[in-house]
Amino acid sequence: MEFENEIRNISLDGFQLVKCKYFSRMSEPVMSLFPTAISFSVAAHEALNGCESIEILVNENKKSILVKPSHSAKDSEAVKWRRGKDKPKYSRIECSIFTKKLYSSWKLNNNLTYKSMGKIVQCDKKVMLLFEFSDAEVWEGSKMVKENGQI
């Protein structure tokens, strides 16, 4: 197959931008907030090297959650998000007291689910995941109702 050497000018009329939601996000760390639970994607586990337990830090003013690996599952504040040595699946952690407080503090709708794409960050030479829910996707069941600030 040979390409033409001449570059043609074209019009963008009739073209539409394909939204990223139509492409798989399996390789991105995702955290979801449900009215009674939180969950993490397999990619979130992998981003933190498959650690067994995590610590969860919340910044209520910025609507952000920082997830960092715990040194030991026996730490008093550690949350076990993985069971045994099996490859992690999308994990769901029941924690209605925590999520009710977040939904109330952040003025979230109890009938909706909120998803945030994680960003790998570093603090004191430790890798962590930052989830910013001020710019979250909003879902009602399996239907997205708001995408990153757009309705």
Which of the 8 DSSP states describes residue 133? Answer: G
Output the CA–CA distances (angstroms, integers) from residue 92 to 28, 33, 37, 61, in the order listed. 17, 10, 7, 25
* Per-residue pLDDT of the chain in tens (151 residues, 90 and over written 9): 565 567 778 888 888 887 665 565 667 899 999 999 999 998 999 999 888 899 999 999 999 999 999 877 677 888 888 765 555 556 789 999 999 999 999 999 999 999 999 999 999 889 999 999 998 999 998 888 876 555 4
pLDDT of residue 2: 62
pLDDT of residue 91: 76
pLDDT of residue 85: 59
pLDDT of residue 151: 47
Four-residue CA torsion sign, 37, 98, 83, 127: positive
pLDDT of residue 10: 80
Q: How far apart are CA 137 and CA 77, in angstroms?
A: 28
Q: How far apart are CA 88 and CA 50, in angstroms?
A: 8
Is residue 65 within 8 A of residue 53, CB to CB? The reply is no
pLDDT of residue 92: 87
